[in-house]
Amino acid sequence: MTTVATSDAAPWLAASALQKDTTLVRSDPFSFLVAKNVLPAHLMQDLQEHFPRLKGAGYLPYEKEQCGEKINQLIEYMTAPDFANALGQQLGIDNLAQYPTFISISRSLKKRHGNIHTDGQSKIATALLYLNSDWPATSDGCLRFLNRIDDFEDTVVPEIRPEYGTLAAFKRADNSFHGHLPFAGERLVIQVAWLVSAKDKARKAKRGRFAQKLKSLFGWGGGSGATAN
C-alpha cells in the first residue's frame, strides 16, 4: 500500500481528546466513555485510503504491512502509554498502559455479526475507533451499551453511530453488555484491547492467524465471529 511522508510534530490523536467537556463518561451499570470528533477532519481521506483492504468480514488481527502510514501512525497513538493511561483514568483503571495490547481491524460486517456480549475475561478494557465518513439513516450497525444480554432495546445511553472520529471504550465486566443490530456492508473500525497477560495476547494472535489462514484457503468470511463491536 502506498504511504506518504508526514511532518506531524505532535500526535493528532492525543490524551486531551478524551478529556473534553463533551465526552460522555459513565460508571453505571459498567464503566464506559464515548468521545466524538477525536480526529482532525482533514485527515479523514488519508485514513480511509490507508485503511487495509481486508477480504474477510469481522475483526482480523492488525498487520502493519497491510496498512498505510496514517493508519499505522494512528495505532501508535492509540497504544501510546499516555493515551492508554488517560483512557484508563476515565474508566477507573490504574496504569492501563502496563497491560499488553491486542489490535484488530474490521473493514466490513455480515448480518451475523453484532450479537450482545460482554467480552471475555482476558480483556481489561477495549477501545473502538470508527472511521466511516458518515452512516445511513438506520440503527443497524450502531453500537449499543445495554443493561441486559437479551434485549437490544434496553439501552444505557443512545446508540453510538460508527462515524469518523467517534471513539467508544469500556471496562470489561460481567455485565458490560454491548452489541449492535445486524448490518452488512462497510464499517471501518480499529479495536484496541488491553489484556490481562502476554499469554492471552499470544493465544488471541494464534487464533487470529488461524482465521486468516482459513480465509485465504477457503474464502471463508470469518474474522472474530458473531460478536463484532
How many domains does one find in the chain? 1
Query: What pLDDT sits at residue 24?
Result: 98
CA 108 to chain centre: 13
Distances (CA, A) of 85 to 6, 137, 214: 26, 35, 36
Tell me if 144 is assigned to some domain: yes
What pLDDT is attached to residue 210? 56
- Those residues of the chain that have pLDDT short of 70 are 1-9, 208-226
Cell of 69: 502510514
132 assigned to some structural domain: yes
* Per-residue confidence (pLDDT) for residue 229, from 0 to 100: 83
What pLDDT sits at residue 7? 42
Does the pTM surpass 0.75? The reply is yes
pLDDT at 216: 53
Q: Answer whether residue 8 is part of any domain.
A: no
Is 224 part of any domain?
A: no
Q: Which three cell numbers stand for residue 79?
A: 497504544
In a domain, residue 5? The reply is no
Q: What is the pLDDT of residue 161?
A: 98
What pLDDT is stored for residue 3 in this prediction?
A: 43
Contact indicator for 17, 38 with CB cutoff of 8 Å: yes
Per-residue confidence (pLDDT) for residue 202, from 0 to 100: 83
How does pLDDT run across 189-222, given as a tens digit for each residue? 999 999 999 888 888 777 766 566 555 555 545 4
The DSSP H or E segment spanning 128 is strand 123-130
**Any domain includes 54:** yes
In a domain, 9, yes or no: no
Residue 107 domain-assigned (yes or no): yes
- Looking at residue 218, its pLDDT comes to 53
For residue 200, the domain's CATH number is: 2.60.120.620
> Rounded to an integer, what distance in angstroms lies between the CA atom of residue 65 and that of residue 46?
16
Strands laid side by side in the 185-195 sheet: 24-26, 32-35, 167-171, 123-130, 185-195, 101-109, 60-61
- pLDDT of 203: 83
Domain that holds residue 174: 15-218
